[in-house]
Amino acid sequence: MRAVLTALSFVCLATFARSETQSVEEQLTHSRAVQAAIWGMPAVNTDLMRQEMLTKTPGKVNQFIYWGGPLDWHNQTLTPNPDTLYFMGFFDVKDGPMVLEVPPGDANGSLNGNIVTQWQTSLEDVGLLGVDKGRGGKFVLLPPGYADQVPEAYSPLRSDTYGGYALIRSNLKSHSEADVAASIAYAKRVKFYPLSAAANPPETVFTDVKDVNFDSTIRYDVSFYEKLDGIIQSEPWIDRDRAMIDPLRTIGIEKGKPFAPDEAARAILNTAIGEAKQLLAARYDVGFPAFWEGSHWTLPALPEAIEGQGTTYADKSKYAVDARGLGYTYAYISIKRLGAGQFYLISIRDKDGNGYDGAKTYRLHVPPDVPVDQYWSLTAYDRETHALIKNVDRASRASNTKELRRNPDGSVDLYIGSKAPVGQESNWIPTDPARKFEFMFRLYGPKPEFFEKKTWKLPDVEKVSV
């Protein structure tokens, strides 16, 4: 709470200082620019990933890019999973519906997938633990207002935007070359094609981008508003967001008109996005509700954001813009049924309530019998960027890591720090001694008892001497 008050005090003092020198119109522009940044965060988050694909890889919209190996720090998306294989298909349905055909899970592989709009509201979860329960299916992405009959063999997904993406995680049995190759081969059975070509679908294009420096971390400068303007120009207004039309016009963003802020306006926008960053960072620092009473392991986001993004804000009396904006500063994607296929826990403080220091060493004791059907993993991220820590050999350890050492009772001790404790190299996650960091603990296929009984508990991370 102290961090939030400090940041809010800074914002208030800065606002007071501006009020002495700025006109009323300039103050309005500033305040609405802060508001626009928080509101537009999920859509800009999507656009940053799409633009990285378009400008740094041969990949195109309505195709798939993929990382042909477990992720390393060259992938600078927000809090990604290094213990699965990522396939991303960005779609645009302006020219008509697109079909995403998901193969059934079998002895050769399985996947967990999520399909979202430009604003990252959930359309559906697919794959082994999705709506199809691993049986596979044909899902057709429909543009806003689409009224034509959908063929019976297809499951319709009605998007309120033209753009969006599907995130497909092809499950790994282990990180071995053979298992990675098998996982890639399985995921390439996914098909992506126009509904108009369903009688004779073209071959789906897959582009491996594992060696690309792919950086979609949030840019807290005037380019944020340039991205937001591009979204306003290309997407229809959603009814729940029409109240933003005038606030955006105040900062120079208006459908059908060029966004061309002059030097004075750009200065205001740069200051505003900086204050939005401070405010959101302070809220993140407070943390989220604890999963276990008294624990520093928390929910992955504020509950109102999880509910809203998973239901497309079905409850018309709620619209968690602030909570949603916060969520997309450190993560991406939305899950319709969080906990059915996967669940996440975040830790930004150790057992003593202190933040994590990359120059120190920590231990996490993972008790035996983790209640999951698939696997669990622990990943360390850069505390400032929320991406994988740069220039380290690996970012995580997981139960599907073959060399992981287990204690006689089946429990696992993981060590995190800039140097591996003697004899613990296989259970070590490296950090940068000059950087702060944070954790995410993933559970794939969590069992009901994990949520209902909560008899299994993950202890807090503790600092150790080595």
Query: Which of residues 4 and 245 earns the better pLDDT score?
Result: 245
Task: Provide the residue ranges of all domains of the chain, joining segments of one domain with +.
Answer: 2-51+218-284, 59-211, 288-464
pLDDT of residue 86: 98
Percent of the chain whose pLDDT exceeds 90: 94
> pLDDT (tens digit, 9 = 90+) per residue, 32-47?
999 999 999 999 999 9
pLDDT at 3: 44
Residue 13 has pLDDT above 80, yes or no: no
Assess whether pLDDT exceeds 60 at residue 280. Answer: yes
* pLDDT tens per residue, range 281-335: 999 999 999 999 999 999 999 999 999 999 999 999 999 999 999 999 999 999 9
193, β-bridge pairs: 99
Confidence of residue 16 (pLDDT cuts 50, 70, 90): very low
Supply the pLDDT for residue 18.
Answer: 53
Place of tokens 């213990």: 83
Q: How far is CA 369 from CA 257, 298, 373, 429, 453, in A?
A: 59, 21, 11, 22, 14
Q: How confident is the model at residue 22 (pLDDT cuts 50, 70, 90)?
A: confident
Question: What φ, ψ does residue 157 adopt, rounded to 5°?
Answer: -120, 110
State residue 9's pLDDT score.
47
- pLDDT for 112-168, tens place per residue? 999 999 999 999 999 999 999 999 999 999 999 999 999 999 999 999 999 999 999
Domain 288-464 has CATH 2.40.50.140: no
Name the CATH superfamily housing domain 59-211. Domain of unknown function DUF1254 (2.60.40.1610)
Cβ–Cβ < 8 Å for 355, 383:
yes
> pLDDT value at position 445?
94
Residue with tokens 């998007």: 159
Helix (H) or strand (E) holding 88: strand 85-92
Question: Same fold for the domain at 59-211 and the one at 288-464?
Answer: no
Q: Is the pLDDT of residue 63 over 60?
A: yes
Supply the pTM of this predicted model: 0.94
The reported pLDDT for the residue numbered 19 is: 56
Q: What is the mean pLDDT of residues 66-90?
A: 97
pLDDT score recorded for residue 453: 85
List pLDDT tens digits, range 398-439. 999 999 999 999 999 999 999 999 999 999 999 999 999 999
Confidence of residue 466 (pLDDT cuts 50, 70, 90): low
- Joined tokens for residue 184: 């890639």
Question: Within a 10 A sphere around the Cβ of 141, how many other Cβ atoms?
Answer: 28
Q: Which residue has the tokens 């979202």?
A: 116
Q: What is the pLDDT of residues 44-57, one digit of tens each?
A: 999 999 999 999 99
Q: How confident is the model at residue 4 (pLDDT cuts 50, 70, 90)?
A: very low
Average pLDDT, the chain: 95
Say if CB 105 and CB 80 are below 8 A apart. no
Cα distances (angstroms) measured from residue 268 to each of 96, 260, 261, 262, 418: 40, 13, 10, 10, 40
Superfamily the domain 2-51+218-284 falls into: VPA0735-like domain (1.10.3360.10)
Residue 353 has pLDDT above 50, yes or no: yes
pLDDT exceeds 70 at position 230? yes
Query: What does the pLDDT average to over 83-109?
Result: 97
DSSP string computed for 174-214: -SSHHHHHHHHHHHTT-EEEEGGGTTSPPPPPEEE-TTS-E
Confidence of residue 465 (pLDDT cuts 50, 70, 90): confident
The residues, any chain, with a CB within 8 Å of residue 145's CB and separated by 6 or more, are none
Mean pLDDT of 338-361: 97
Instruction: Copy the structure tokens of residue 164.
Output: 């969006």
The residue with greater pLDDT, 140 or 23, is 140
Strand order in the sheet with 98-102: 155-158, 137-142, 98-102, 191-194
